[in-house]
């Protein structure tokens, strides 16, 4: 149908420890989905938050204005509602309230049916020493791969 759209949050795995993952639908307007299909979106600094009614929204997700849109065009940094099952929403809401965890988007993609989906994760922020450990592990893995490549 169209090319594969995968918009990633590359910093998420470095800044957060991922505990649980979910796939959520997004409520979008016509010009928003057209911008996503042309890969004009960013989830780098976004997060998810519950409102008073218990609905989950993604905050600070940037979808650029559609180039061919008229006065019906959307706002780039609007709050967008996420669609999950009621049971999943209750579980996430309880975890966020009780333990102080956060919900972050990991990946924005378009599925086979043409719907925009967002992979979100229940996450816990890493401390500075955890980040240093992650960097050290990544460097060690890179060096081992180089050594393996030499001796093949």
* Distances from the Cα of 138 to the Cα of 29, 77, 131, 145, angstroms: 40, 33, 11, 11
Measure the CA dihedral 58/4/41/31, to 10°.
-90
Whole-number mean pLDDT of the chain? 89
Give the pLDDT confidence of 93-139 residue by residue, as tens digits. 999 998 889 999 999 999 989 899 999 999 998 888 888 988 999 99
Whether 1 shows a pLDDT value over 50: the answer reads no
For the record, the structure tokens of 126 come out as 């890493």
Q: Output 113-116 pairs: Cβ under 8 A, ≥24 positions apart.
A: 114/1, 115/25, 116/25, 116/26, 116/28, 116/33, 116/36
Give residue 2's pLDDT.
Answer: 53
Exposed / middle / buried, residue 116 (Cβ in 10 Å: 0-12, 13-18, 19+) = buried
User: Do 145 and 137 touch, CB atoms closer than 8 A?
Assistant: no
Q: Residue 5: is its pLDDT beyond 90?
A: no
Q: Categorize the per-residue pLDDT at 14 as very low, low, confident or very high, splitting at 50, 70 and 90.
A: confident
- 45-68 pLDDT per residue, tens: 999 999 999 899 999 998 888 888
């Amino acid at each position: 149908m169209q090319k594969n759209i995968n918009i990633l949050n590359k910093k998420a795995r470095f800044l957060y420890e991922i505990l649980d993952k979910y796939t959520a639908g997004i409520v979008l307007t016509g010009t928003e989905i057209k911008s996503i299909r042309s890969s004009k979106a960013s989830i780098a600094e976004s997060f998810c938050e519950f409102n008073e009614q218990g609905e989950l929204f993604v905050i600070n997700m940037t979808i650029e204005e559609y180039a061919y849109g008229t006065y019906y065009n959307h706002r780039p940094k609007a709050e967008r509602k996420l669609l999950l099952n009621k049971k999943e929403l209750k579980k996430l809401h309880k975890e966020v309230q009780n333990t102080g965890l956060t919900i972050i988007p990991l990946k924005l993609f378009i599925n086979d049916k043409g719907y925009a989906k967002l992979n979100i994760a229940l996450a816990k922020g890493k401390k500075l020493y955890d980040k240093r450990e992650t960097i050290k592990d990544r460097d060690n893995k890179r060096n081992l791969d180089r050594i393996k490549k030499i001796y093949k």
